Amino acid sequence: MKAVLMAAGMGTRVSKEIKSIPKCTVRVGEKTLIEHTISQLRRKEVKEIAVVVGYQANRLCDLLKGEGLHIYHNPFFDMTNSIASLWFAREFLHGDDFLLLNADLYMEERVLDEILADEASPVLFSDGTRRKEADYKLSYRDGVLQKHGKELDGDEVTGEYLGIAKICRPFLPLFKERMEQLINRQQHHLWWENVLYSFIGERDVYVEEIPPGLFWAEVDTLRDYERILEYANKLAKV
């Protein structure tokens, strides 16, 4: 298993509240968010890890120096979105099953256990208990993605997207080919997840819900970060 951590974005929604540092470098206890995730992945024997940097790349490279990571750089981070960032890491996408995840994601270890045990591909992960407060919303039926977007509302929302997907090796060539097609069409404004979304109606893109009660958060707002700190503080007291 390999993993790609997407860490190139500017995080404009929360940047002022976290002193304009990359979201994945906020501290959770003794580690930054991205260091916490890398440690988790390595405990689960995800040994080959790539990080795509862009915004404040030097800060991230200094932080992760000596970690034995594959580092890729999107120099156009301020004019493109994460599909372009992943395109710069395309040479890493071969030879194994993959986790693709946003680097501002925090999850308790049991969430990662569930993700690694799942056999579907391609599969996005969702929290079915966070429908009303969901940031990026998914609509799925019988475990197959139907719709996606912030604008989804009411009963069509079946869960909140976690910011992580798994792609098994047989699907990788299709994924990479579609990514290249979108890049060649100048679709640089898309998220990396749009590569998967583009298959809706052509083939099944699966969605797996994590078990209720497991903690995760993606740092899109200051409140998200506060939720992570509250959870980490409770753990520290146990």
- Which pLDDT score, from 0 to 100, does residue 10 have? 87
**Whether pLDDT at 237 is above 90:** no
pLDDT digits (tens, 9 = 90+) for 210-223: 999 999 999 988 99
Query: How crowded is residue 170: how many other Cβ atoms within 10 Å of its Cβ?
Result: 9
* Cβ within 8 Å of residue 231, ≥6 positions away: 106, 108, 215, 217
Q: How far is it, in rounded angstroms, from Cα 136 to Cα 148?
A: 8
Give the closest residue to 219 by CA, choosing from 73, 102, 82, 54: 102
Q: How confident is the model at residue 238 (pLDDT cuts 50, 70, 90)?
A: low
> 59-86 pLDDT, tens per residue?
999 999 999 999 999 999 999 999 999 9
pLDDT on residue 47: 84
pTM for this prediction? 0.94
Residues 6+ apart with CB under 8 A from 236: 29
Question: What is the SS3 assignment for 194?
Answer: helix
pLDDT value at residue 37: 97
